[in-house]
């Protein structure tokens, strides 16, 4: 007999409209839909066409009306600011978000206008996102670790009417003044926002620009609270830029209706949490995990969400996560494997855990990068909880594969995020576009139409959307992950098929870094690969071929390119290592053999490609990598 998961999965593929109609009952609508799944314009599919709704209403107002006014909605826990803890009940959040929406309205922002949010992990960031949703403005949150030029690219693409920012972000050892970064970005961008709203933090002051900038606190104090604006279910809620196959980021567009339905459904069925429970996604609002599971999903479900401004280690120690879990009675934690690798490295025996009562916590979910079996076992052993690897992408907005704890808990197979989540028709295709046999590796795709909450398109670029995701395998969405599905339906994610690397769970493009290196006047050619790293999963390493006749010292050039990447992409790229070589290994047709270089760096077995131009270069690559501590010299 089929278990509940199997029944749900089958129904979601055979009767998607019925399945998601049932899930949509978890959301309040102003007007019901004409069509559940609108397939009239493939490959563009839309969910709940004709319906009207408001995401902010569903995340806050309705809970206040239904009796949750005094329940904490957000608990802001900030060890980096001297252990600040501030609780916002649903009623507090309603007040703040209505005022925030009033501030935006007062600056002329209306439905469909874009607002960029460039903020650290402070409550005002969440309030800003929800304030945009309240009036139908489209927010685009930019992660605070990105440099001004990255912010400028996003400003030019999204063309925001306003930017909301703060005077600073706080890292473990330093305060980062945001205003110079914001000013630089606006100077660099062709598009100029009319208004910047600045949250003044006590850790840094800033000179506001007359006529452009306003102070958050005084604007909020004088604001007329604004109500929810009806939007179409298919209207965009947000744009979230993610790394693509070049330095040009892609603006993933998410809708209102489908997004709410899928996220609300996921809270019980995947994470097995109930309204009123405390849920913690230890990520950053700048990433999709932060959008979906710090802000929207827990609030849509009536949970209490933790907003943590700290790190797994160093704030103050590797017991920080256990402290937060015990202090706030967290029922389910979601973070990236890197966070656990960092904790394990500092406290391998888990001694700090003994000082805290974490018994309220029932599950740990990990995503964003491969979960290595060592970390999985360590977390299982130390916490004594189900440790669930689940796989998803910025583009999908929620998980494609997971052990759905609220439906049926399957046995865990290390290395696999378990099975496809209901709604996702996951298949593995060979180069000929046909499904491969169970256990064989191929390109992982999702058959169209995808379930609610997956991306609608790329902002302002339908062509790129089709080119990047839909053209390679007609009728399917290409995930750009390669892997396999075993006989029991367990999915294994093995590698990206493009240039994306995952550094500390942060998605980065090596192509973007190569574009920066290539701009150095002494660099003739370059390549960047991601090499395996015990803490961060992967780290970028650059290979530089210098112009002949350059008189500069090689080490000096390396230091310069390292600085260039930090300045142009941001500290988050963690680009610290490069080597100088005579030539890059290439095929006879001129394609750089990045895959082979990566295998050498990771001391993996590899075949010398038959098409290689000059096999002897591989030895030089090996020696160069050994000089910076990679490769065991297997060449
Ligand atoms: N604003 C400004 N700078 C930031 C930043 C932010 N929001 N986030 C990170 N940075 C900086 C860091 O300070 C660091 O700077 P440095 O080079 O001067 O040291 C650099 O970017 C690299 O950051 P990171 O890769 O995160 O390394 P780290 O050594 O600071 O921390 C971990 C390592 C493992 C503790 C950290 O990556 C972590 O907590 N990871 C959890 C994973 C996660 O949240 N993933 C999100 C997706 S689920
Ligand atoms: P992002 O868009 O930042 O969420 O990154 C998405 C990419 O991260 C995926 O395409 C995968 O390559 C990788 N990823 C996310 N979750 C997992 C996982 N559980 N296992 C392996 N890789 C993952």
* Structure-derived torsion over alpha carbons of residues 30, 36, 38, 39, reported in degrees to the nearest 10: 170
Specify whether 280 is located in the same domain as 145.
yes
Q: Please tell me the predicted confidence (pLDDT) of residue 610.
A: 84
How many angstroms does the Cα of residue 505 sit away from the middle of ligand 1? 9
Specify whether 466 is located in the same domain as 590.
no
Q: Please tell me the predicted confidence (pLDDT) of residue 633.
A: 54
Does residue 366 form part of some domain? Answer: no
The protein residue whose alpha carbon is closest to atom 9 in ligand 2 is 393
Specify whether 416 is located in the same domain as 294.
yes
Q: Which two tokens stand for residue 245?
A: 């196959």
Give 547-575 pLDDT, tens digit per residue. Answer: 988 889 999 999 999 999 999 999 999 99
Q: Provide the domain limits for residue 554.
A: 504-626
Name the one residue in this structure whose structure tokens are 């992950």. Answer: 481
Ligand nearest to the CA of 294: 1
Specify whether 158 is located in the same domain as 260.
yes
Does residue 369 form part of some domain? Answer: no
Give 373-400 pLDDT, tens digit per residue. Answer: 999 999 999 999 999 999 999 999 999 9
Specify whether 13 is located in the same domain as 125.
yes
Q: Please tell me the predicted confidence (pLDDT) of residue 611.
A: 87
The protein residue whose alpha carbon is closest to atom 33 in ligand 1 is 504
Helix (H, G, I), strand (E, B) or coil at 257: helix
Q: How far apart are CA 167 and CA 97, in angstroms?
A: 20
**96, pLDDT greater than 70:** yes
Pocket-testing residue among 507, 512, 538, ligand 2, by greatest number of atoms within 8 A of Cβ: 507
- Residues lining ligand 1, judged by CB closer than 6 Å? 144-145, 169, 171, 176, 283-284, 287, 289, 311-313, 336, 338-339, 342, 368, 503-505, 536, 571-572, 574
**245, pLDDT greater than 70:** no
Specify whether 71 is located in the same domain as 198.
yes
Domain containing residue 585: CATH number: 3.30.300.30
The structural domain count of the chain equals 2
Distance of CA 590 to CAs 368, 606, 612, Å? 33, 20, 9
User: Of the residues 483, 516, 544, which one is the last residue of a structural domain?
Assistant: 483
Pocket-testing residue among 574, 575, 576, 577, ligand 1, by greatest number of atoms within 8 A of Cβ: 574
Specify whether 216 is located in the same domain as 158.
yes
**632, pLDDT greater than 80:** no
pLDDT confidence of 635, banded at 50, 70, 90? very low
Pocket-testing residue among 245, 365, 370, 469, ligand 2, by greatest number of atoms within 8 A of Cβ: 370
CA atoms 182, 186, 191, 197: torsion sign: positive
Does residue 88 form part of some domain? Answer: yes
The protein residue whose alpha carbon is closest to atom 19 in ligand 2 is 391
Q: How far apart are CA 416 and CA 209, in angstroms?
A: 51
Specify whether 474 is located in the same domain as 511.
no
The protein residue whose alpha carbon is closest to atom 3 in ligand 1 is 145
- Tell me if the pTM is above 0.85: yes
Which pairing describes strands 195-199 and 213-215: parallel, antiparallel, or unpaired? parallel
Does residue 536 form part of some domain? Answer: yes
- Residues lining ligand 2, judged by CB closer than 6 Å? 242, 288, 367-371, 389-394, 417, 479, 481, 493, 496, 502, 507
Specify whether 57 is located in the same domain as 202.
yes
User: Of the residues 424, 451, 483, which one is the last residue of a structural domain?
Assistant: 483
How many angstroms does the Cα of residue 112 sit away from the middle of ligand 2? 30
How many angstroms does the Cα of residue 391 sit away from the middle of ligand 2? 6
């Amino acid at each position: 007999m089929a278990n509940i998961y199997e029944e749900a999965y089958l129904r979601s593929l055979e009767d998607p409209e019925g399945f998601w109609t049932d899930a949509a009952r978890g959301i309040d609508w102003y007007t019901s839909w004409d069509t559940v799944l609108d397939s009239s314009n493939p490959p563009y599919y839309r969910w709940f066409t004709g319906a009207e709704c408001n995401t902010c209403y569903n995340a806050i107002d309705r809970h206040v009306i239904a009796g949750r006014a005094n329940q904490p909605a957000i608990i802001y826990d900030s060890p980096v600011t001297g252990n600040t803890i501030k609780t916002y009940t649903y009623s507090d959040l309603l007040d703040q978000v209505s005022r925030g929406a009033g501030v935006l309205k007062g600056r002329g922002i209306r439905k469909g206008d874009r607002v960029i949010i460039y903020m650290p992990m402070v409550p005002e960031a969440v309030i800003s996102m929800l304030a945009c949703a309240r009036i139908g403005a489209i927010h685009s949150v930019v992660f605070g670790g990105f440099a001004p030029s990255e912010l400028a690219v996003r400003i030019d693409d999204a063309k925001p009417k306003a930017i909301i920012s703060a005077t600073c972000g706080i890292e473990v050892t330093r305060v980062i003044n945001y205003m110079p970064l914001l000013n630089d970005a606006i100077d660099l961008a062709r598009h100029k926002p009319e208004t910047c709203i600045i949250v003044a933090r006590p850790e840094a002051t800033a000179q506001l620009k007359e006529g452009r900038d306003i102070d958050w606190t005084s604007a909020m104090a004088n604001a007329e609270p604004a109500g929810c604006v009806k939007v179409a279910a298919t209207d965009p809620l947000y744009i979230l830029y993610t790394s693509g196959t070049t330095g040009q980021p892609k603006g993933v567009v998410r809708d209102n209706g489908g997004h709410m339905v899928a996220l609300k459904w996921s809270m019980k069925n995947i994470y097995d949490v109930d309204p009123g429970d405390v849920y913690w996604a230890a990520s950053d609002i700048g990433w999709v995990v932060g959008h979906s599971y710090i802000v929207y999903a827990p609030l849509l479900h009536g949970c209490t969400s933790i907003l943590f401004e700290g790190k797994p280690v160093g704030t103050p120690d590797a017991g920080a996560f256990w402290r937060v879990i015990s202090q706030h009675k967290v029922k389910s934690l979601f973070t990236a494997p890197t966070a656990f690798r960092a904790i394990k490295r500092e406290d391998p025996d888990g001694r700090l855990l003994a000082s805290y009562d974490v018994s309220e916590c029932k599950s740990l979910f990990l995503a964003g990068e491969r979960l290595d079996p060592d970390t999985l076992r360590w977390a299982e052993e130390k916490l004594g909880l189900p440790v669930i690897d689940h796989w998803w992408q910025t583009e999908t907005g929620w998980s494609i594969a997971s052990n759905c704890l609220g439906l049926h808990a399957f046995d865990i197979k290390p290395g696999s995020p378990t099975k496809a989540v209901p709604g996702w028709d996951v298949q593995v295709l060979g180069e000929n576009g046909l499904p491969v046999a169970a256990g064989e590796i191929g390109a992982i795709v999702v058959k169209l139409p995808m379930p609610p909450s997956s991306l609608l398109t790329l902002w302002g670029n339908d062509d790129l959307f089709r080119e990047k995701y839909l053209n390679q395998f007609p009728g399917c969405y290409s995930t750009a992950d390669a892997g396999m599905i075993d006989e029991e339906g367990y999915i294994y994610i093995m590698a990206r098929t493009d240039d994306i690397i995952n550094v500390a769970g942060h998605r980065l493009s090596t192509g973007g870094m190569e574009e920066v290196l290539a701009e150095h006047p002494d660099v003739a050619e370059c390549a960047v690969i991601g090499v395996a790293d015990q803490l961060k999963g992967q780290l970028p390493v650059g290979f530089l071929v210098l112009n002949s006749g350059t008189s500069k010292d090689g080490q000096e050039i390396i230091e310069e390119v390292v600085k260039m990447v930090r300045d142009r992409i941001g500290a988050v790229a963690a680009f610290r290592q490069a080597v100088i070589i005579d030539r890059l290994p290439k095929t006879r047709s001129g394609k750089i053999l990045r895959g082979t270089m990566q295998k050498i760096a990771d001391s993996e077995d590899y075949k010398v490609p038959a098409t290689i131009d000059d096999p002897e270069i591989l030895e030089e690559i090996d020696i160069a990598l050994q000089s910076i501590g990679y490769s065991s010299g297997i060449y």
